[in-house]
Structure formats: structure tokens, C-alpha cells
Structure 1
């Protein structure tokens, strides 16, 4: 028995908060956490949803059903890194997010500032995507970051462009020590990146915590 691979196109899904167009002053690409439902992720970003800001929430490609609830009777979750297929998943997510970003940014003013936010394992996905160097972004925000053990974190960070990185963690004890941020902060400094660590309370992310409050007047 020989396991083979074959590349093919498939339909991906994403949520947009706001509409692309000439009024957009800031674009955010926001990558969800492991098994996190997109509507739940969108609810955490409600404070960012303003007329001048466009948020794009891509869903990872490996989708699977989750237990139904009254609010989500037909819900599906998704993961960026499926067990046993790390290298193909990395190539697929890079191609997918590059194509999505190209399509979205083509509908916005030229040179619009781009922020990338990664939550949980979405932080690792964001780093691997940006390490490819095709998208011109202004800053990277990593919230409760979790890197799967199969990913070489240091080599990923070394390949990141020299743009500012903000790490976010909560003041509540709900995440693993890895997601707390101190170790990742040191790794970022070790590879020469400008990084800072911020603490927030649990719940929807505030504009101030993400450094987005100033965008309204930019």
C-alpha cells in the first residue's frame, strides 16, 4: 500500500466584518484558534468592527462537524494543522491565504495598512504564512499563541519580516504556560524582532489592547 498526494483546488470559507471598497482605511486578517467556530471568533472581535476597518476571518481548510447546539445546529469547526499532514497543510494554507489577501486587497485603496491577528494555533498559522514574505503587512498580533510541536518555532520566527509583533495574553489562568507569552517573547527578541507583551482581561478584545484605538484617527 502506497500513500500518495494530489493537489487540487477546493472552496474555502471566510467571514468579513465590513465591506471592501474605497472607504477602507485598515484591513485585518484574523486567524482563528484550534476548533474555534468562526461566529464565536467574530464575537470576540466585535470591538474592532468599525466603518473604516475591514476584518477578514478565514476558516482553516480542515473542517469537521461538532456537536450541535441550539445556537449552531449545523456547526463545523476547522483546524490549520491536521495530524500527520503538516507539510502539505503549510503549503496549502500559504497558497490559500495569499490568494485571499490578493483578492481582498485588490478591492481596497492601494497601500492600505494591513494587520494580521493570530489566535491560539492561528498564531502559528499566521507566522508560517507571513514567513513566506508575499504579503506586505504593518504589524502582527499573536493572542494566546500555541505552536504545534511539529513546527520549528525558531526557524519560523527567523523568517518573519522585521515588522512589530504584539503578544497578547489574559490575566486569567485559562491558557497553558506556552500560551502565556513569555517564552515566545524571548524567542522573538532572540531573532531580532521588535516585540512587546500585553495582558488583557477575558472577553472581547479591546481596541486599546490590540493597539487599534489610534486607527480611527489615522
Structure 2
């Protein structure tokens, strides 16, 4: 008979920029399947370098593994189908603790952007449905909205929430037409998402990130 035991473990995340009362923008960026936060966060470095009041936080999935065979490059995952509900609960707990720690160092007016890439999109949506804060914008990049969130919970999360879907025109995992279907599904849940495309594959794009960074305007100096 299978049993479960809740234990304490060490989670890892990357941070670019210094948190303080002067921090005006915080980005939580969750990587995709098989990636590591240390490499993923580099795509956002230009945002923190351009604005000292911007801080980037990149959590890393709790499950790490060798990408090929039993050695070489390592990647991380947010969950698999095996024991998925406990994996989801563990990651929500991790992200809630991390966001509480981060936001405790900021003013109450800090603007929070939450971005998920690929597998990370479902993770951030499940997390935000239980989070203690509401982001200024939500970005689902090359991924979809989880269909296991109850409709009333999804509607409460998505109502009046600035939401952007992003996909490359040559993405090998999700096509622009599939992203358009995701957009329609979100509209049925009461969201008003916009869909951005760019010439590229299953990857981040600096030009689009720059555009998205302009969408949050601080409410204080």
C-alpha cells in the first residue's frame, strides 16, 4: 500500500537585481520542461540591467534529472503524470513561500508580472489560483491554461487580469492556431487575453519581452 510523508527539502531559485523598498517591478519567471533556472533567467537579464528597480525571480522545478541517459546535462521539471497531485501541491507551497519572502522586501505598490514558459504555464496558473497576491499581468508563453482548475476558480483568477499569450510562428510544440484555441477557451472563462506571435521556435524572444515589460507602469516613484 502506498503512503506519503511530508518532508522539508531545499528549493532553488535565481534572482537578478536587489530587492528593497525601492523595487518597483518584480518578475516571477517559471521555466519549461528540462530547463534550469540558472540558464532560463539569463533571458531576462537585460530587464534588470536596464532598470535597477526591476528584480527577476526564477524558481526552479523541484525535480531534476539527466536529460540524456545517466549523465551529462541536467534539467528540471515541475511535474509528471506520476503522483501529480502531490507534485502540484509541493510546487504551489514552494512558490507561495518564495513569493511571500520576495514581496515582504518590497513596497505594497510593487508591480508583479508572472510569466510561465512551456510547462511552466500550467504551474503558474495553478499557483496563482491559490496565491496571496494578484499580479499586474500574467504571461503564458508557448503553453496552455491547465484544464484541471475548476471553472469557478479559473474565472475568479482570470477576471480583470491582464493576460497575454505568446507563441513563435515556428514553435514545434504549440502552433499559433493551437494558441488561438487556448485564447478562445480562456475567453469562455471570462478572460480577455491578447495573442502575440513572433518569428521563432519554442523559445523566448527579447523584442516581445521588451514590449511586455512596458505594460506595467509603476504607481509610485
Q: TM-score, normalised by structure 1?
A: 0.85
- Residue of structure 1 aligned with 2:154, choices 150, 154, 157: 157
2:213 corresponds in structure 1 to 212
Q: How far apart, CA to CA, are the structure 2 residues paired with 1:101 and 1:114?
A: 10
After superposition, where does 1:1-218 map in structure 2 within 5 Å?
2-49=1-48, 50-66=51-67, 75-146=73-144, 152=148, 155=151, 157-162=154-159, 163-177=161-175, 180-202=178-200, 204-206=205-207, 210-213=211-214, 215=216
Equivalent pair of 1:46/1:204 in contact (CA under 8 Å)? no
1:28-71 deviation line (CA, Å, top 9, x unaligned)? 11110011122331232233223121110000111123459xxx
Q: How far apart, CA to CA, are the structure 2 residues paired with 1:159 and 1:89?
A: 23
Give unpaired runs (5+ residues) of structure 2. Answer: none
Equivalent pair of 2:198/2:208 in contact (CA under 8 Å)? no
Give unpaired runs (5+ residues) of structure 1. Answer: none
Runs of 4+ in 1 over 4 A off after TM superposition: 207-210, 214-218
The CA deviation at 1:213 is 2.5
3-state SS of paired residue (2:65)? strand
The CA deviation at 1:74 is 6.8
Change (3 A) 1:181 1:160: same
3-state SS of paired residue (1:20)? coil
The CA deviation at 1:8 is 1.1
